[in-house]
Structure 1
Amino acid sequence: MDTNLIFFSLFAVVAAIQFLYWVVVFSRFAFKKPHESQQADLLPPVSVVVVGRNEAENFKKNLPAILNQDYPRFEVVAVNDQSSDESEDVIEKLQLEYPNLKLVKVPENDKFWNGKKFGLALGIKATEHEHLLLTDADCYPSSPDWIKEMISGFMGGKELVLGYGDVEKTGGFINALSRFETMQTALQYFAWSFWGMTYMGVGRNLAYRKSLWFEQNGFIKHIHIPSGDDDLFVNAAAKVGKVGRVAKNTAHTITESKTTWKNWIKQKRRHFSTSSLYKPHQLVLLGTFGSSMLAFWPAFILALIFTDGTLQHLVLGLAGLRLIYQYTIGFMASRFFGHKDVVALWPIYELIWVLSGMYLHLVNAWKGKPKGWK
């Protein structure tokens, strides 16, 4: 086999894998119609659980936006997880104004489970209702209809509802990268869920039935891992046909992005620490996509250099076609996620994201998985 054909074949294989993911897998979500919301008075009562440690300012800023949701029957369970700041005082003052706000305290004790799971478990056990909606103290809902939109996802006998945890647009490279990473991750977990492989969700915006949590014995399957109260729980609990998906822009929760590379890497290290515990077939499918994404541009450059004539034209055509379809999926997905400015520079952020993922895996392997969640 001559050099022309070798490098063209290498590129063609990588491009074919990419087309399979973008054309088949991701389009299943990107071209979906938005989920239809139900009338709030026809929906069940809800318990919203918010966990925070040393989040006094965020409790003060974000809890009112949750407590003022346009929903007839709901409670908010705010968990103060061993805070040393004024979190407890902030919640107690809000209780004077909002009778549906409940405070759960996690006392300081080194014997408690490392991470967020103990506080979240106490919060869930303190809830009154079957339908749970979870978020974090540093998040606020994108609209007064957040609860209604997310709980509409339970219709049809669903047990678990995936939501989207957005990142606030501010400015700068780290913010843009954070918004891209959030979109790319959500595109994958929403799309794969439509194909029956629900492998993760985000604790910033996640709903499930309380009975499902007890059926799974809470977080006991991965209690030794500080993280994973969201993705590892979803990975274990999700059943085909029992998962709802709500990505409408009125159903988001929003958080501020990290402002420095160091803080962003620290956050992503925690997230990456759980992905190695996914099911083997999930790791293969997700890993194949990431590997082919990383290999695409080097294979393209090599194919351009070492091919000529018709094969070189085919290389350019395949690269252009992949780029067109990638942009199509990105802009269609932005109907749900927003951030069209990031989609416009998708190839650049894509390469940085994949390289960052490799770096994070290497750092976690070298330094060990992060301990704690704050």
Structure 2
Amino acid sequence: MKMKFYDALQLDPAILKRHIAACDTKQEKLYYWTAMAVRSILIVAFAIVFISLLSAVFGADNTPLAVALFCIMLGIRFVNFEYCIRDSLLTLAVALVILVLGPSAAAVLPPIFLISLHFVCFFSLLYITTQRPEMGNGGLYSFAYVYLTGNPVIGEVLVRRGLLALTGYLLCGAILFAKHRHQHKAVRFRHVVRQFDLSAPVCLWQFRMALGVSLVLTAGQLFGVERFMWMGFACASLLSEYPYSSNALPRFRQRIIGAIAGSCAFLVLYLINPESMHSLLGPLGGLCMGFCTDYRYKTAMNCFGALMLGAGIYGIQGAVVLRIVDTILGVTFGLIFATLFHRLVAIRFLPEPQTK
């Protein structure tokens, strides 16, 4: 029996593709392919309207936070923080405060404080929002932090960013309350704190990711790497794989392949299309993302939005080269860090393998 079309629109592409594979008729397959296409179109259309509206009200300099809030709003419908609604609402507020103040502080503090600042902010975000990394919260809030670190603001613009965060809190908090107020009623945040144990896979994953991303962001800022947040995205993506794995090489290869393929595809489309159509390439990447389940293809499609913005700053060739170089630097750093971390730290905390 086919599910309702509205219910199909709520599903992840990976789940929809499993339904398609299980279908017996072409008509059923077309039904789910249509749902996937409509879902992708609706998300992109809503993103354009939502982000454009908030950017118009709070200023173009705060578009990055509008993007982050859009992603948080989509995710919070399905994934909560795994404790009672009162503590969850407080957690959301703390997370937004970190996202507003952490990146701006990193832009003005002396370099000696950067590693500790990024680590405290990043680890705090992961620890309070991500009790089950497999649900995707870790990638969501890490993306937001890295993106905002690459687009810091100060002064009056920072005040408007705070007001935008307050607006986002009211929207996301309402969704969180409506969708999850009856879940985890007996679990308080203090219970989570008491359970911290670095030998636990989740805590080990949080610590490794926070330390690795903090180091790569600090390196990018200290050495003046152009668009260093692209390094941060690449490193965070490599370290975000869960369950914890000592072998980061497969994702290392996939990230590089995806970045090169996506950047080259964007370059070709940019060159063969008239200038009036260049602004459509970003939304095109978003539409295609709605059909992607493979990590390589997601990486490739992510390049479109980034390069659309980067081309206006560096030119198309400069943006493409920078995207590829920053990605290679980020995943190379992440691979080396993951290897050293496992040998020097993780192996001491991971449980001994069971012997028969």
> TM-score normalised to the size of structure 1?
0.29
Which one has the bigger strand percentage? 1
Higher relative contact order (CA 8 A, sep 6+): 1
Q: Which entry has the higher C-alpha Rg, 1 or 2?
A: 1
Which one has the bigger helix percentage? 2
